[in-house]
Structure 1
Amino acid sequence: MRDEMLELTRQMVAVPSVNTTSGEKEIGIFIENYLRSIPYFKEHPDNVIIQKLKDDGLHRRNVFALLRGEKDDNRNTIIFHGHTDTVGVEDYGELKQYAFDTDRLKQELLKINLPEDVRSDLESGDYLFGRGACDMKSGDAVFMVIIKHIAEYIKEFSGNILLSLNPVEENLHTGIIEGIDVLEQIKSEFGLRYVLAINNDYTCPMYPGDKHQYIYTGVGGKVLPCFYIRGRETHVGQCFEGFDPTTIAAELTSYINLNTQFCDEYKGEYSLPPVALKLKDLKEWYNVQTAKEAFVYFNYFVHDATTEEIIKKLSDAVHNSVETTMRSVNVRYKSFCELSGKEYVPIKNEWSVITYENLYDEAVKNCPDIKMILEEKTEELLSEKTDKREIPIYLIRLLLTKAGIYHPVIVLYFAAPYCPHNTLKDDSDRKIIDKLRKVTKEVEKESEVSYNVCRFFPSLSDSSYLTIDDPDSSIDTLENNFPQMDQLYPLPFEKMKNLGIKAVNFGVHGKDAHKWTERLYIPYSFEVLPKLILKTLDAFL
C-alpha cells in the first residue's frame, strides 16, 4: 500500500484546501469521490455520509464513511479521524506557486540555499515536501487506502471502521464539532460501540537528533485568555497625567509570554507555556492623545487545570503587571521632576482588575435587560463579520457603562476557540493502555522503531471534542467568563460527555509543519504506521 498512499497524498496536496477558502469544499469533494469509487461503497452508497456545515458560505462539508465487517455481528467500532484543511502558503514567498505541487516544489528547492538539515532531507529522497504533506493529508491518505484494502476482504473482517474527515481544524474546529451529531446518529442507527478513535495528525522530533516515534493517548486542551485594558487618555504634553493601557499590555505580555510558571502539569507531563497571539492598542487614528484602550490575548495550553485555577493565575499576573508598571512609572516621573525642578507627588494606582463574570453581575444590577442587549449586539457584530475574539470588546464597553465603571480597568475573559483536554487514565482506561503498549512493542520488534507513549498530543487537535475531562464546575466557570459563548462558540458539552470516545494520536511523521519547509518522512508514514494501525484493529476489534 506504500506507493498507493504516497500517490494519494500527492493528489490531495494538489488540492489547495487552505483554511477559510473554497478549497476546503474541494478537498471534501475529492475525498467523497475517492470513497465512492471503492467497490464496497458502490454497493453500500448510503455508508458514505456527507454533512454540509451549517450556514457556511464556503459550503464546506464533513465526509464520513462506515465500513461494516461481515464476518460476524460485532458492534465494536474504531473511528479513523483527521482534518482536511491546511494553513496558508504566504511563508513560501516566491515558492508560493509551487507549494501544492510536490514534484515541482522539490525541483525549485534544489535550486536555492537551504538549511543543512533541510537539504539533507530533500536530497535523501525519503521526504515529501509541500503544504499539507505532513499536516495532515498524508495521515488522511493512510486511512483511506487502508479502508480501501480492508473493504476487499469485508466478509472476513470483524467489527467496524468509521472514517471521519473534517474541515476547519486549523482555527475553530467547526467540522468535528458539528460532526458530533453524525457520530451520535451513526452510533444509534447501527448500534455501534465506539471503542477507540485514532487520529493521524502529524508527529515530529521533539528535539534535535530525536530518533523516537510518538504515540499520544490524549490531547492537551487550550483556552484563549483575553485582556481588555481601558486606561485614561491624555495629551502628550501632560503624559504623566494619563494611565497608559499599552504599557500595561506590554508588561502583561512580557510577564506571561513563554513563562513556564504557567505550564500545566499532569502525571509528569507539562504543557507548553502561553504564547502571545495578539497585542495592539485600539486607537484607530493618529493624534497626540495617548491610547485609551489596548487588547492582548494568549494561547494557553491545559493538561489538567480547572478554569478557576487558570483565572487565579492570570488575575495574579495582571495584578503583578499593574504593580510593576506603576512602580516604573513613578520612578520615571520622579526622575523627570528632579530634572525639571518640580515637586514630586507619587502617582496613585487607580487600576482595577475584574473578570467578565463579575463585570456582568455588576451591570445586570443596573440594567435587568442586559442579556437581551448583549445578544442583539452580538448578532449585529456577527453580521458585520467582526472577529469573534474582538466582539467581546464591544460588549465589555457596554457593560462598563451599565456598571458605572469609568476608572482604569483590566477585564479578563475567554474567547474562541476552546479546546477541552482529555487523556487515558491509569485506572479506568488500563485495558486500553495495555493493548496499545502491546501493539507498539510488536511493531518495535518488527520495524526497528522506538516508541514513546505520551499522555498529551502537544499540538491542537480535533480529538479534543470526542470526550471531555473537565469537571462541570470548570465548564460553568468557563461559560460565565466567555462572553456570549452560546452565540460565538457553542459547544455540545453534554453530547461530548455522552459520547466519551477515547482518542489517541498515532500520526504520520515529519518535520516543520506550518513552515515552508514542511515535509513528510515517507518510510515511517507509509511503511510502519500502516502496520501499527492494522495491529491496533486486530487488538481492539
Structure 2
Amino acid sequence: MLSCREDVLRITDELVQVESVVNTPGEIDVARALHQRLAALPYFQKHPESLLLSRTVDDEVERYNVLAFVKGTKDPANNRTVILMGHIDTVGIEDYGHLKEKACHPQELMKALQHEPLPPLVKEQLESGEWHFGRGALDMKSGVASHVYLLSYYAEHPEELAGNLVMLAECDEEDSSHGVLSGLKDLKRWREEHGFEYIALINSDFVAPLYEGDVNRYIYKGTIGKLLPSFYITGAETHVGSCFEGLDPNFLAAELTRQISYNPELCDEAMGEIPVPPVSLKQTDLKPSYTVQTALSAYVYYNFFTVSWSPKEVLEKLKVQAEIAFANALQSLNDRYRAYRERCGEVYLPLPWKPRVMIYEEMNRQLREEHGARFEEHMKAFKEKLLSDKSLDTRMFAARVVEEEWTWMKDKSPAMILFYSSLYSPAIEISGKDEREVQLLEALEEAVATVQPSYEHPIVTKNFFPYICDMSMVALRDDEEAIRAVSDNNPGWGTKHYVNYQDIRELNVPAINIGPYGYDAHKKYERMEIKFSAEIVPTVTNHVIQRLIGG
C-alpha cells in the first residue's frame, strides 16, 4: 500500500479550493493552478516541453487542459505509454444554499455542516472523520489528485518506469467534452513527436453504491455510451374554447414521455450488464408567451444509455415507440371526444389525425428534393444568423433548426420529428479482443488481488461505468454508418455542434476507470471516503502502471 493518504488529500483540497464550475472562468483558474503546481517540480523545470497548458479548440468558452508526461529511464527504447485522465471542472454550487461560500473549502464546510440538520448517514460519515466533503471532492478532484500524486512520484523516480506516463487533466467534462476532444489532438501530436505507444488509459471518475446497502467499491472496464434523442412535435392549433378542433402537441409529448421514460424495453444489454432506461431531460412547448390558443409545437428530449446499440439502431427503436405513442394518444383523444359528445347529447365523428413520425434525415432529404438550392441556401443563412444567439445551447439550437425547416413542409399535418441534438458519447467495451486489452485486464486483475487484503470492503470489477464520462472519447468501435446516423440526424451538425470522431478512432486506446468512492456527486452533501479514494485508488492504479510499463 502506498503511503500517500495525506499527499492525495492535500492535493485534493488544493484543487477543490479553486472553484471551477463548468463554463465559467474558474476552469481557467484551476488549470493554471495545476499547471503551476507541476511546473514547480524539478523534472518539469528540466523538461519544460513535457508540460502543457493547452486551450481547447473550436470552443466558444476560453478554458484549458493540463497535459504532462514523464519518460521512464529504465528502458529508454521502450515506448509503451499509459495515459492517466481526469476532469478538473465541476457542476455548480447553487445547491449548497446558505453554505455556498463554503462549498469549495472542505474544512470550513465540514465544520459548518456539524451545525446543520443532516440525514443520519451523512451525519454518521461526517462525524467519523473518514469522509471528505466539498464540491468536486468526489467528482472528481480526488481522482485527479491521485493521478497528480503518481505523476509527481515518477517525475522524481523515472528510473522506475520502463515506459512513459502521460497525464491529461481535462476541462468541460460536465457539459460538452471540449476538453477531452481537444486533448486528443495533443495526445496524437505527442505520439508523433515522441513515439509514444499508447497501450492503456486509466480514468479516475467517481464510483458510488449501485443500490441501497451496497458495500462494494467498483472498478470499471469501459463505459456506457450516451445519446440525446429529441423530438420536435407539431399539432394543430385551435382556440381553447374549441379544443377538439385542434391537436395539442403537449398532449402528444406527454404520451410520448409516458411511452419512453423508464421503459425497460429500451434498456440495452451487453456482457450481462444492463444500463438504466431512458428518462426525459426536457419537455416544453415552444409558445413564446401566453395566448388562449393551443401551442403549435412542443419539444422533448431524453437521456439514452447504450452498451451495444448503434445510434442508427436507437433511432429505429425510438421511431417505433413514437408511432405507438402517437397512436395511443389519438385513441385516447378520440375516446375522450366520444365521451364528451355523448354527454352533450351530440353525434360523435372520429377526429381526422393519423400517426405520423419522421426521422430528421428523411424530412431533410424530402425538403432538399422538393425545394433544392433555395431551401439549402435559406437554411445555411438561417443557421448562421442563429449562431449569433448565444443563449441557445446545442439542444435548443437544433430544435430551432427543425422548427424552421418544418415551415417548408407542404404537408403540415401533426407529426413527431426524431433527431439528435447533442453529443454522442460512444460506449467502450474491454473484453480482451486484442493484446492491449488482454494485458490491461490481467494487470487490473492482479492489482485488485494484491490490494484487496488491505481493504475491508469488496473491490469489484464491472464492465461498464454507469454514468457519462470522458472515457467515451478515447476509443471508438462504431463504423462509418453509425457515425453518419449521428451527423445526418443532428440539425446543428457542422455549425453549432461538431465532433471529429476520426480523432477518437485514431487514438483508440483501451480504457478503465479506477476512481474515488463516495456519495451525492452533484449534490450538496458530495463526499468521498478517504481511505478508498486517497489510498486504494492510487495504489491500485500504481500496480496497473507497474505491470504495464514498470519494467
TM bin, normalised by shorter chain, reads over 0.9
| Correspondence for 2:136 among 132, 135, 145 | 132
Offset of 1:57 from its aligned partner?
Answer: 5.4
Is residue 222–residue 429 contact of structure 2 (8 Å, CA) maintained in 1?
yes
Aligned to 2:381: 376
Within the candidate set 12, 16, 21, 2:15 is matched to 12
Which of the residues 86, 90, 93 maps onto 2:94? 90
CA contact (8 A) 1:351 1:407 kept: no
- Give the Cα–Cα distance (whole angstroms) in 1 for the partners of residues 39 and 321 of structure 2: 54
**Rounded Cα–Cα distance in structure 1 between residues aligned with 2:201 and 2:327:** 48
Partner AA of 1:421 in structure 2: A
Of the three residues 507, 514, 517, the one matched with 2:515 is 507
AA partner of residue 96 (structure 2) = Y
**Residues 399 and 418 (structure 1), Cα distance of their counterparts in 2 relative to 1, 3 Å cut:** same
Which residue is equivalent to 2:423?
417
- CA distance, structure 2, for counterparts of residue 58 and residue 355 of structure 1: 32
User: Residue 363 of structure 1 aligns with which residue?
Assistant: 367
1:304 aligns with 2:304: no
Which amino acid is the alignment partner of residue 168 of structure 1?
D
Matched, 1:390 2:393: no
Could you tell me which of 504, 508, 512 is aligned with 1:496?
A: 504
Report the alpha carbon displacement of residue 104 of structure 1 after superposing the two structures with TM.
1.2
1:426-465 equivalences in 2 (<5 Å): 426-428=432-434, 429-465=437-473
Shift of 1:365: 1.0
Match of 1:157 in 2: 161
Query: Residues 139-178 of structure 1: matches in 2 within 5 Å?
Result: 139-178=143-182
Instruction: Supply the distance in 2 between the matched residues of 1:525 and 1:475 (Cα, whole angstroms).
Output: 36
Supply the AA of the counterpart residue of 2:533. Answer: S
213, 222, 229: which is aligned to 2:226?
Answer: 222
Q: Is the 8 A contact 1:51 1:61 kept in 2?
A: yes
Pairing partner for 2:257 from 253, 257, 261? 253
* Corresponding residue SS for 1:111: coil
Task: Report matched runs for 1:224-239 at 5 Å.
Answer: 224-239=228-243
Whether contact under 8 Å (1:366, 1:403) holds in the other structure is no
Residue ranges of structure 1 left out of the alignment (5+ in a row): none
C-alpha distance in structure 1 between counterparts of 2:123 and 2:305, whole Å: 33
Amino acid of the structure 2 residue aligned with 1:390: M
Q: Which amino acid aligns with 2:74?
A: K
Counterpart AA for 1:514: H
| Candidates 474, 484, 487, aligned match of 2:492 | 484
How much has 1:110 moved relative to structure 2? 0.9
Q: Does 1:275 align with 2:283?
A: no
Aligned-pair CA distance for 1:449: 4.2
Show the 5 A alignment for 1:525-536: 525-536=533-544
Pick the aligned partner of 1:399 from 398, 405, 411: 405
Deviates more, 1:108-117 or 1:190-199: 108-117
My pick for the range that moved more, 29-38 or 65-74, is 65-74
Distance in 2 (alpha carbons) for counterparts of 1:373 and 1:506: 49
Equivalent residue pairs, number: 541
TM-score by length of 2: 0.96
2:280 counterpart SS class: strand
Shift of 1:72: 1.7
Equivalent residue letter for 2:5? R
Give the conservation status (yes or no) of the 8 Å contact 1:25–1:58. no
Superposed CA offset, 1:32-60 (max 9, x none): 00110111001111110121123545420
Deviations 1:179-229 (A, max 9, x none): 111010001100010010000000111122222121111111100000000
Query: Aligned to 1:65, which of 65, 68, 85?
Result: 68
Deviations 1:258-308 (A, max 9, x none): 211111100111111111110001111112111111000011001010222
Query: Matches of 1:427 and 1:53 in 2, distance apart?
Result: 33
Q: Is the 8 A contact 1:171 1:417 kept in 2?
A: no
Give, in whole Å, the separation in 2 of the partners of 1:395 and 1:103: 48
State how far apart, in whole Å, the 2-side matches of 1:156 and 1:343 are.
87
Question: Partner of 1:66: helix, strand, or coil?
Answer: strand
Structure 2 residue ranges without an equivalent (≥5): none
Q: Distance in 1 between matches of 2:337 and 2:443?
A: 66
1:405 Cα deviation (Å)? 2.6
Amino acid at match of 2:169: L
| Partner Cα distance (2:7, 2:311) in 1 | 46
Partner of 1:198: helix, strand, or coil? strand
Deviations 1:221-265 (A, max 9, x none): 100000000101101111100011000111111221121111110
Provide the alpha-carbon RMSD of the alignment. Answer: 1.4
- Post-superposition Cα deviations, 1:436-489, rounded to whole Å, max 9, x if no partner, equal 212211111344442221111001111111011222221122221111322232
**Cα distance between partner residues in 2 of 1:387 and 1:232:** 27
Distance apart, 1:158 and its partner CA? 1.8
Structure 1 contact 49–64 (Cα < 8 Å) conserved: yes
Deviation of 1:495 (Å): 2.1
Secondary structure of 2:13's aligned partner: helix
CA contact (8 A) 2:83 2:198 kept: yes
